[in-house]
Amino acid sequence: MSMLEVSGVVKRFGGLAALNGVELSVRGGELVGIIGPNGAGKTTLVNVVMGVYYPDSGRITFDGRDITRMPPHRRARMGLSRTYQVPRPFNDLKVIDNVAVAAMYGSKDLPVGEAREIAEDLLRRVRLAERAEDYPESLSVVELRKLELARALAQEAKLVFLDEVSAGLVGEDLREVLSVVRELHEGGMTIVMIEHVMKVIFNLAERIVVMMNGQKLAEGTPSEVSSDARVVESYLGKRWSEV
Ligand SMILES: Nc1ncnc2c1ncn2[C@@H]1O[C@H](COP(=O)(O)OP(=O)(O)OP(=O)(O)O)[C@@H](O)[C@H]1O
């Protein structure tokens, strides 16, 4: 059974249908990639699943419950989480406390000591343990991305959306973040990666959903999608290795 099921979701902003009947299904433990050009509706899809906006029509279920009109904090408590394109840590808190605060947010009566233990464990999982006692302003871009990941996972996440976790990273930094994502996936986390470019997720995602104009244009394994005629014609016009 799917962990997350998005069916027929429409979200309009004025006259524009940012989402125009989107279908998405994610099974527990999967790593799914969502790609598409600027304005395809990727971020709006994340926002609608997280409850930032309610859809104009359609239905969203998570863990067997209809969450279409559930408030965001209750979705978070059910284990839905996300990272943001632009990390927003608390700069006056140490790295470990940034994660501990995220663990305490919304969960009733979690003692500080336990929140710090959770934070320590998460920092190890994202390979940031050695920076635990430092402040966010001293972190590099890739380290900030890892902090953002740890914060997103802190509330007992079951499914996490990674919104362009690779943005601005190249070479060793890109490989490092992607191997952290791979390890989280291997540890059982359900992950949906939103990316601009296919090559970032080609070797990582089991399944790729291509979005275009608020709809799903294609879906399949990375090799199926990259040889799909509709995708090549309407989205690419160039070789996958270039996008
Ligand atoms: N709050 C909003 N108000 C009005 N229009 C919006 C809003 N959010 C998104 N849109 C519009 O909806 C469409 C889809 O935007 P969205 O950000 O979801 O695309 P995207 O695929 O995430 O693109 P990008 O890769 O640039 O982030 C765009 O035309 C955008 O301008």
Q: pLDDT digits over 28-63, tens only? A: 999 999 998 888 999 999 999 999 999 999 999 999
Return the CATH number at 23: 3.40.50.300
Gyration radius from the chain CA atoms: 18
Judgement on whether residues 169 and 194 belong to the same structural domain of the protein: yes
Judgement on whether residues 133 and 43 belong to the same structural domain of the protein: no
Which of 133, 155, 177 delimits the end of a domain? 155
Whether ligand 1 lies within 6 angstroms of the CB of 13 is answered as yes
Counting from 1 in the atom list of ligand 1, the atom nearest the Cα of 196 is 25
Q: What local confidence, expressed as pLDDT, does residue 54 receive?
A: 97
Which of 135, 155, 175 delimits the end of a domain? 155
Whether residue 226 contacts residue 198, with contact meaning beta carbons closer than 8 Å, is answered with yes
Looking at this predicted complex, what is its ipTM? 0.95
Judgement on whether residues 34 and 51 belong to the same structural domain of the protein: yes
CA 134 to ligand 1 center in whole angstroms:
35
Q: What percent of the chain has pLDDT over 90?
A: 78
Total tally of structural domains belonging to the chain: 2
Residue 153: its H or E element: helix 141-153
Rounded CA gap, 23 and 94, in Å? 40
Predicted confidence (pLDDT) per residue in 74-89, tens digit: 999 999 999 998 888 9
Judgement on whether residues 138 and 237 belong to the same structural domain of the protein: no
Two tokens at 62? 């998570």
Q: What is the mean pLDDT of residues 135-162?
A: 95
Judgement on whether residues 166 and 180 belong to the same structural domain of the protein: yes
Judgement on whether residues 164 and 151 belong to the same structural domain of the protein: no
Band of residue 180 on the pLDDT scale cut at 50, 70, 90: very high
Judgement on whether residues 165 and 65 belong to the same structural domain of the protein: yes
Range of the domain at 74: 2-79+158-242
Judgement on whether residues 11 and 63 belong to the same structural domain of the protein: yes
Kindly report the pTM of this predicted structure: 0.92
Return the residue whose CA atom lies nearest to atom 5 of ligand 1.
13
Band of residue 177 on the pLDDT scale cut at 50, 70, 90: very high
Judgement on whether residues 109 and 67 belong to the same structural domain of the protein: no
Using most ligand atoms within 8 A of CB, pick from 34, 43, 49, 162 the residue to mutate for ligand 1: 43
Two tokens at 74? 């209750």
Judgement on whether residues 74 and 179 belong to the same structural domain of the protein: yes
Which of 136, 155, 174 delimits the end of a domain? 155
- By the 10 Å C-beta count (0-12 exposed, 13-18 middle, 19+ buried), 208 is classed as buried
